[in-house]
Amino acid sequence: MTHRMVWNQTAYFGPGAITHIPEEIARRAFHKVFVVTDQHLVQAGVAKKVTDLLDTNHIPYAMFDDVVANPTIENVQAGVAAFDAAQADVIVAIGGGSPLDTAKAIGIIASNREFADVRSLEGVAPTKRPAVPIIAVPTTAGTASETTINYVITDVQNRRKFVCVDPNDIPVLAIVDPDMMATAPRSLKVATGLDALTHAIEGYITGGAWELSDMFHKKAFEIIASALPEAADGDAAAMARMALGQYIAGMGYSNVGLGLVHAMAHPLGAFYDAPHGVANGVLLPSVMAFNAPDSGEKYRDIAAAFGVDTSTMTIDDARDAAVKAVHDLVVGLGNPTTITALGASAADIEALAEAAAADVCAGGNPRNASVAQIAELYRALL
């Protein structure tokens, strides 16, 4: 059996990492930048930290700041039109998962015009040419979109999210600067942190996991378990640890897949515009309990990351301890624990379950789940 691993060409880490952007643009002989971000980051002055560097170094740029949360097909198509008008040769994406995912879709379509409908990119996208070069600057410690081959787009017309998997979309450069994440509100730090934890745990137990991916995921959930509570409260050192931990998780899950938590979270986002990380936090403990019988010994490592000594525990007790530790973290951070809090209703359960079963992430779950079982998991969280 063979395994493929795909990562960035280059990445910078640490406070002040954004200062390397101008030199990298010059080194790669790019001429004009297309900045992709959102209105919130513009108004908060976060995007300006990067555009000021472009201004100081006399690097021309055009800005597309209309990215929405849970970016839609139409949002991507508007971005492609703006990119064409800008006549740029590199994209600088500034933001959380939404701007970074939008930038990936724009870059892919700009190089592969036959996918302009966006929907045809779903699944393992059969593109032939690399995306327009992307420099990714995350402003949250969660999605790791800056180092993954995945992005997620919302199909509003059909009330669904779809995942695109494509090595051609990976950014050529990642700038992981915790200073860019410092001003995020606590609620966003919690949500994106729980997304990162979910990546690490699902990637660790997914069917495609192997020794190299296990190394990344184990280290990632060790970092996140210890850093997230303090990072959420604004501790700078913990925020830097979260920035690293979420990136390491991305190096793993991007290459081996995820599982049922993500498959169930995507419909909650599509139906109710629920924040992705918040939905993951609601679902993670319950899905971990569902998957426990097919997790081998790996829940011992998860429990240990939360400071639980499972050396004398039976495997069933160790699994319960891991689930409890994650549940206690979710509660302690103040994340919702029901899907009702996200806007879900009993009337939608069957439709949600069918959408989750059809999601590409469901195929990576270590335990097969029927539509009826998924519906029961949702129903238990109302």
How distant, in Å, are the alpha carbons of 49, 57, 99, 103, 178 from that of 18?
A: 8, 13, 17, 18, 10
pLDDT of residue 1: 84
What average pLDDT does range 161-165 have in this prediction?
93
pLDDT in tens, 224-278: 999 999 999 999 999 999 999 999 999 999 999 999 999 999 999 999 999 999 9
Q: How far apart are CA 354 and CA 331, in angstroms?
A: 28
What average pLDDT does range 324-341 have in this prediction?
98
Mean pLDDT of the chain: 97
Evaluate if residue 190 carries a pLDDT over 90: yes
| Non-local CB neighbours of 258 within 8 Å, separated by 6+ positions | 198, 199, 202, 203, 206, 361, 364
Burial class of residue 367, CB neighbours in 10 A (0-12, 13-18, 19+):
middle
SS3 150: strand
What average pLDDT does range 77-100 have in this prediction?
97
pLDDT of residue 104: 98
CATH fold of the domain at 186-380: Dehydroquinate synthase-like, alpha domain (1.20.1090)
Q: Do domains 10-180 and 186-380 have the same CATH topology?
A: no
pLDDT in tens, 39-78: 999 999 999 999 999 999 999 999 999 999 899 999 999 9
Domain ranges of the chain: 10-180, 186-380
Q: What is the DSSP string of 214-261?
A: HHHHHHHHHHHHHHHHHHHTT-HHHHHHHHHHHHHHHHHHHHH---HH
pLDDT of residue 64: 98
Evaluate if residue 197 carries a pLDDT over 90: yes
% pLDDT > 90, the chain: 98
Residue 253 region, left (φ>0) first, then alpha (ψ -120 to 50), else beta?
A: alpha
Evaluate if residue 117 carries a pLDDT over 90: yes
Q: How far apart are CA 301 and CA 254, in angstroms?
A: 21
Confidence grade of residue 23 (pLDDT, cut at 50, 70, 90): very high
Token reading at 295: 């997790």
Confidence grade of residue 369 (pLDDT, cut at 50, 70, 90): very high
CATH fold of the domain at 10-180: Rossmann fold (3.40.50)
